[in-house]
Chain A
Amino acid sequence: MTIHTPTTEAQACAVVKSVIDSATPLSIRGGGTRAGLGRPAQAESTISSAGLTGITLYEPAEMVIAARAGTPLALVQETLSERGQMLPFEPMDHRALFGSEGDPTIGAVAACNISGPRRINAGAARDSLIGIRMVNGRGELVKSGGRVMKNVTGLDLVKLVSGSHGTLGFLTEVTFRVLPRPERLVTLQWSGLSDEQGVALLSKALGSPFEPMAAAHLPAGLVGDQAHTLLRLENFSDSIEYRAGELALLLGEFGLPERFEGETPAELWNLIRDAAFFAGTDEAVWRLSLAPTNGPKAVATITRSLPGARWFYDWGGGLVWLAVPPEGDAGAAAVRDALRPLGGHATLVRAPDAVRAIVNVFQPLAEPLMRVTVGIKKSFDPAGILEPGRMYAGI
Chain B
Amino acid sequence: MSAIAFPAPDAGILARRNEIVAGLSALVAPSALITSDDERRPYETDALTAYRRMPLAVVLPSTTEEVAAVLRYCREQGVPVVPRGSGTSLSGGAIPQEDAVVIGVSKMNRIIEIDYANRVAKVQAGVTNLAVTGAVSAEGFFYAPDPSSQLACSIGGNIGMNSGGAHCLKYGVTTNNVLGAKMVMLDGSIVEVGGSHLDAPGYDLLGLINGSEGQLGIITEATVRILRTAEGARPVLFGFPTSEQAGSAVAAIIGAGIIPVAMEFMDKPAIEICEAFAKAGYPMDVEALLIIEVEGSDDEMDAQLARIVAIAREHGVTTVKESKSAMEAAAIWKGRKSAFGATGRIADYICMDGTIPTGQLPYVLRRMDEIVKGYGLRVANVFHAGDGNLHPLILYNCNDPVEAQKAEDAGMDILKLCVEVGGCLTGEHGVGIEKRDLMTYQFNPEDLAQQMRVRAVFDERWLLNPAKVFPLEGRIAA
Contacts and interface: CB of A to CB of B under 8 A. Distances in A.
Given A61-B359, A150-B384, A362 B195 contact: no
A236 B201 contact: no
A198 B120 CA distance: 20
Contacts of A368: 185, 189-191
A329 interface: no
B204 A345 contact: no
Interface residues of B, number: 95
A319 B259 CA distance: 28
Nearest to A339: B197
- Give the interface centre of A63, A142, A155, A236 by most chain B CB atoms within 10 Å: A155
B208 A156 contact: yes
B195 to A, nearest CB: 5
A101 B161 CA distance: 43
Given A59-B359, A62-B359, A140-B446, A366 B198 contact: no
Given A154-B431, A160-B204, A318 B197 contact: yes
B427 interface: yes
Contacts of A362: 201-202
A256 interface: no
Given A162-B207, A209-B229, A376-B454, A343 B196 contact: yes
B34 interface: no
A346 to B, nearest CB: 8
A368 B384 CA distance: 39
Interface string A243-269: 000000000000000000000000000
A197 B130 CA distance: 34
Contact of B257 (A144, A181, A206, A291): A181
A395 B454 CA distance: 15
B424 A291 contact: no
A146 B424 contact: yes
B356 A236 contact: no
Contacts of A200: 117
A260 B191 CA distance: 46
A289 interface: yes
Given A153-B426, A362-B201, A236 B172 contact: no
- Give the interface centre of A59, A127, A143, A151 by most chain B CB atoms within 10 Å: A151
B427 A150 contact: yes
Contacts of A291: 115, 118, 120, 195-197
Contact of A369 (B191, B299, B429): B191
- Give the interface centre of A153, A158, A159, A163 by most chain B CB atoms within 10 Å: A153
Nearest to B216: A155
Contact of B197 (A163, A181, A289): A289
Given A150-B389, A152-B428, A369-B193, A124 B198 contact: yes
A179 B230 contact: no
- List 3 A-B pairs, minimum CB-CB distance, nearest first: A159-B207, A180-B257, A375-B457
Interface of A: 59-64, 84, 113, 115, 119-120, 123-124, 126-127, 136, 140-144, 146-160, 162-164, 168, 179-183, 200, 203, 206-209, 236, 238-239, 242, 289-293, 315, 318-319, 343-345, 347, 362-363, 365-366, 368-369, 372-373, 375-376, 378-380, 391-392
19 contacts: A119-B199, A140-B446, A141-B446, A148-B424, A152-B161, A152-B162, A152-B426, A153-B439, A155-B208, A155-B451, A156-B207, A160-B205, A209-B230, A242-B297, A242-B299, A291-B120, A368-B190, A372-B185, A376-B457
Given A155-B208, A180-B256, 8 more contacts: A152-B431, A155-B455, A289-B198, A319-B198, A373-B202, A376-B454, A379-B450, A379-B454
